[in-house]
Each structure stands twice: as structure tokens, then as C-alpha cells.
Amino acid sequence: MAFAALRPRSVTEIVDAAFQVLRAHYGQFVMCSALAYLPWLIIELLFLNDPERIANTEWWVGIAVAFGVWLSFALMSAVIMTCASQAYLGDPVDVGEAVRRALPRLPRVMIAAVLRYILMFVGLFGLLVGALYVVARLFALTPAIILEDASLVQAFDRTSFLSKDRKWHILNTLGLVGLIYWVIGLGVTVLAVASGNAVVSTLCTAFYTILAYPVIAITECLLYYDARIQTEGLDLELMAGELGLPSPSEPVGP
């Protein structure tokens, strides 16, 4: 049985459901984010308060570190999204299975992310409206790749289809969960900086990211499923499958 009733949801209901999924499987989600973030944290602590080491570092090391951070966050989002899908659909949350599923698809996720950022940058020339349009239209790029094993072309087509006539709903949902995340994060950052210790500040920021970031990826996953329910009747299809009935898209009888 699914974690919660599969039905169309409002903006606040999607965000609330994301927090419910996070609370129900908090240990697994924190494990996902910690495994992805800790290597970057170690590197950051090694270079912290050591200007000489930074100055003597070859340029290619900086590029390698930046690539490592990008890879870590891409992997973290992909694995968390897979676990969120498991939880939301009522399957056991298996981090190992999520990693095995996400890894082969990670190159596509990273390329799609680069293309999305380029399009968002281009969208800025149309003022903020253009960038927001790109965010809304391409909201399901990662879910399409991770959960449907879509190719890059298929993922772009898929997210364009799922976002049709739903862009305000998508932006409001992402905006609400982002606002919650960043407001709390700002409070944590202020308190960390007030400590006056760079190591403490870095650790506080890292721990907050590890503990709270999963809700962003979970919301994106639930928003993807909500779009499928709204546009494809996914809830009815899954319900029919559980009852052993033909899918609404399939003919009944011979």
C-alpha cells in the first residue's frame, strides 16, 4: 500500500506529504545525504584556514573538487528521489537498491543538469520570467531519468508534457519548500557565524544540509507523481493494478 492516498494535491499538501515521507524514513534519507556530502565536507575541512595550501594547489585540483561536489549532489538527489519514490508508492525503502538504480543513470542526470542551468542562464536575459519558465518546464528532468530510465531527449519531452498548464503549481510548490529550507538555513548560518569559529560554522552548515536537504528532492519526486496523477490518471491506474483490474487506459473485456 502506498505511503499516502495517491490523489491530486494542492501546493501545501505536496510539501506536507514530503515532510511526512521524510519523517517516516528519516534515517535512510539522512544516510543518503550524508554518504554523498561527507567527502566534500572532509575536503572543505582540510583546506579550511590554510591559505597557503589553497595558494599552492594546482588549478586542476580546484576543477576536480568542483566536479566532485557536483557529482556528490547529483548522486544525493538521485538516490533520495529513488528512496522517496519507494516510500510514496508503499515499497520498502532500500538505500542499496536506490544507489544501484541511480548510478547507471547518473551521467544523464548530470548532463541534463548542465543543459538546464544553461537554459536558465539564457532565460535570465528574458528577466526573471524566462528563468522561472525554464525551472517550471524542466522540473521533471531528473525524475524522468531516474524513475523512468528515460534518455535525455525523452526526459526533455516528458517534463515538457507533464508541466503543460501546470507551471504556476510547480513554481509555487518548489518556491514554498525552497523558502522553508532557506529561511531555516539562514537562521542556522547566522548562529554558526556568530560562533566565530570557521570549523564550527562549516560543520553546522554541513549538518543542516545533510539533515534538511532531503525534503527538497522528496518534494520534487512527489511533484512529479502529482503531475502524473493530474495528467495521466496514475492514481487510478495503480489502484486498478492493486485490485487486479484492467488499467483505465486498457480496454475492459475481450
Of these ranges, 62-71, 123-132, 139-148, the one predicted with the greatest mean pLDDT is 139-148
Span 46-67, mean pLDDT? 61
Residue 34: helix, strand or coil by DSSP?
A: helix
Q: What is the pLDDT of residue 95?
A: 87
- Mean pLDDT over each residue of the chain, to the nearest integer: 81
**Long-range CB contact pairs, 30-35, < 8 A, 24+:** 30/210, 30/211, 30/214, 31/95, 32/76, 32/79, 32/80, 32/83, 32/95, 32/98, 32/214, 33/76, 33/80, 33/209, 33/210, 33/211, 33/213, 33/214, 34/210, 35/76
Name every residue whose Cβ is closer than 8 Å to that of residue 249 and which is 6 or more positions away in sequence.
Answer: 233, 237
Give me the sign of the Cα torsion angle 137, 143, 148, 149: positive
Confidence (pLDDT) at 187: 87
Phi, psi (deg, nearest 5) at residue 140: -105, 20
Q: How confident is the model at residue 130 (pLDDT cuts 50, 70, 90)?
A: confident
The pLDDT confidence band at residue 136, using thresholds 50, 70 and 90, is very high
* Cα–Cα distance for residue pair 62/64, rounded to 1 Å: 5
Of 55-69, 104-118, 175-189, minimum mean pLDDT range: 55-69
Supply 247's cell numbers.
Answer: 488499467
